[in-house]
Amino acid sequence: MSFYITTAIDYVNGVPHVGHAYEKIATDVIARHMRQRGGDVFFLTGADEHGEPVADTAAAEGISPQELADRNVARFKALLPELEISNDFYVRTTDEGHEQRVQEVMQRIHDNGYTYKSLYEGWYCPRCADFKVENEILEGNLCPIHEIPLVRESEENWFFKLSEFQVELEALYSDHPSFVMPLARYNEALSFIQSGLQDVSLSRAHLKWGITVPWDTDHVFYVWFDALLNYYTALGYARPGEDLTDTFWPAQFHVIGKDILKFHTVFWPAMLMAAELPLPEHVFVHGFLLGSDGRKMSKSLGNVLDPFEVLARFGADALRFYLMRDVQFGADGAVGMEALQARYENELANEYGNLASRTIAMIRRYRDGVVPEVELDPALRGEFDGLADEIWDLMDGAEVTAALDRVWQRVRRCNRYVEERQPWALAKQDHPEAHHELNIVLASLAEAVRVISVLLSPYLPESTATLLKAMGSPVISLDQAAFAEHGSGSLVEAIEPLFPRR
């Protein structure tokens, strides 16, 4: 089974923030889960380098757009391994392979008759790199997303006949109710389509920083037409000498934020239709991270969660866990250092970390580090029945928060199990039944910790790897997530606390 998953590609006119990190972490969790299924996974992320924002910032700094992009791409790229992102390729829209393929696909759209030249006049947001239609514009002529003044622009442009795809797009939505997820976003996209599609301009004459329109070389492509195609172009050159398109296109999952819904759920499928290319299966739209006070994050309000600070203090697993657990994936959510610290201490350290360390410590103390070979406790086994299947289904719908919660319920159940069974009391009793009972409790706990860790590994890749290695069961494929006698007889090694006090 091949599985192709992508994030949006980041504008590199600034430095990476926690919103960028969030989208990559969520996508990474899904990609890692799909690899656990044994799938042939390709996970793409990258940088969106063309367009006004980069050109304008570079001009203000007195450097070339390429210099600015190179400098910032280095920062965005460096963050990925620190977040433990397991992407298979990093696409840059200034890559030669991307530029060539954009020209090929757009030429096909032109040859198929879906373009025309015309004068465009409208209200333009330089931050969105988008013209706004009348009913979107906020009072005072402000951008509905950035709340900055719109600029009146008029120029001779090439247009894409988006309006010709009205019927086909409506059919796509009625035939594929999970094309856009969650449902509220599907409805939003569909009502945008039903309100009537206008053609959109696909080129810029006044801008030099972009990919040249091959049939009219005074123009460059409007940045969104260039950027959206990254998902397709990258497969052509990600592996030198190899074309991955047949293996991985169409994508199963595009993961994006709610501010770029229209481009991915309306423009993108229409472009692919115009180029006669297969459509992606799902677009998953996540919400926005807000400042700790629930307002939009901004340096001046002092409510920003800085991913670099979190990484330095708590490490990648803590940031990954916190964001996936605290913000319901799909919805907006406030995030902040205090809440992160609370989750770290209460859940990672006191619940999961403590369960792991006491299980290991008791097996070492009472059984010389060897997991007893004995039948497992049906009371605990029952808690895990069907769990891996449930996670599987949730992940098919990108429900990363819900899936994590299912596993966490088992973490808590196991801690209660320890309290109920009181292994330390059993260890004190000097008769064969107590000895046998303790074997069952310890083997069952070891197995539960192992299964939980396999299921948590997409979220906590580093700490689960350390723990599973210490337990002598490093394999994380999902077929190892059944509660059975997998760990029987393994030798368990001592480990440092997984989540030490900070």
The residues binding ligand MSP (CB under 6 A) are 8-11, 19-20, 22-23, 48, 227-228, 230, 256-257, 259-260, 288-289, 297
Q: Which residue among 24, 33, 50, 128 is the active-site one? A: 128
SS3 127: coil
Residue nearer to ligand MSP on the CB measure, 285 or 452: 285
Specify whether 299 is catalytic.
yes
Residue nearer to ligand MSP on the CB measure, 267 or 314: 267
Residue nearer to ligand MSP on the CB measure, 329 or 384: 329
- Spatial contact of 45 and 30, defined as CB atoms under 8 Å apart: no
State the Rg of the chain over Cα. Answer: 26
Q: Which residue among 296, 428, 436, 469 is the active-site one? A: 296
Distance between first and last Cα of the chain: 42
User: What DSSP string runs through 186-241?
Assistant: HHHHHHHHHT-PPPEE-EESS--SSPBPTTSTT-EE-HHHHHHTHHHHHHHHSSTT
Specify whether 282 is catalytic.
no
Q: Which residue among 33, 110, 132, 143 is the active-site one? A: 143
Residue 28: name the closest of 461, 471, 474 by CA: 461
Question: What does the DSSP 8-state code read for residue 494?
Answer: P
Smallest distance from the beta carbon of 57 to ligand MSP, in angstroms? Answer: 13
Specify whether 469 is catalytic.
no
Specify whether 77 is catalytic.
no
Peptide bond into 497 cis (omega under 30): no
Smallest distance from the beta carbon of 195 to ligand MSP, in angstroms? Answer: 22
Side-chain half-sphere CA neighbours of 458 within 13 A: 29
Phi-psi region of 302 (alpha: psi -120 to 50; beta: other; left: phi over 0): left
Smallest distance from the beta carbon of 127 to ligand MSP, in angstroms? Answer: 9
Distance CA 466, CA 415 (A): 20
- Chain centroid to Cα 186, Å, comes to 19
Smallest distance from the beta carbon of 7 to ligand MSP, in angstroms? Answer: 7
Residue nearer to ligand MSP on the CB measure, 128 or 360: 128
Smallest distance from the beta carbon of 481 to ligand MSP, in angstroms? Answer: 30
Residue nearer to ligand MSP on the CB measure, 129 or 169: 129
Smallest distance from the beta carbon of 279 to ligand MSP, in angstroms? Answer: 15
Residue nearer to ligand MSP on the CB measure, 22 or 483: 22
Distance CA 114, CA 153 (A): 23
Q: Which residue among 20, 50, 219, 254 is the active-site one? A: 20
Residue nearest ligand MSP, CB atom distance: 257
- Spatial contact of 223 and 50, defined as CB atoms under 8 Å apart: yes
Distance CA 451, CA 445 (A): 10
Specify whether 296 is catalytic.
yes
- Spatial contact of 498 and 471, defined as CB atoms under 8 Å apart: no
Residue with tokens 């973490």: 411
Residue with tokens 């990919």: 211
Which sequence positions are flagged as catalytic? Answer: 17, 20, 125, 128, 143, 146, 296, 299
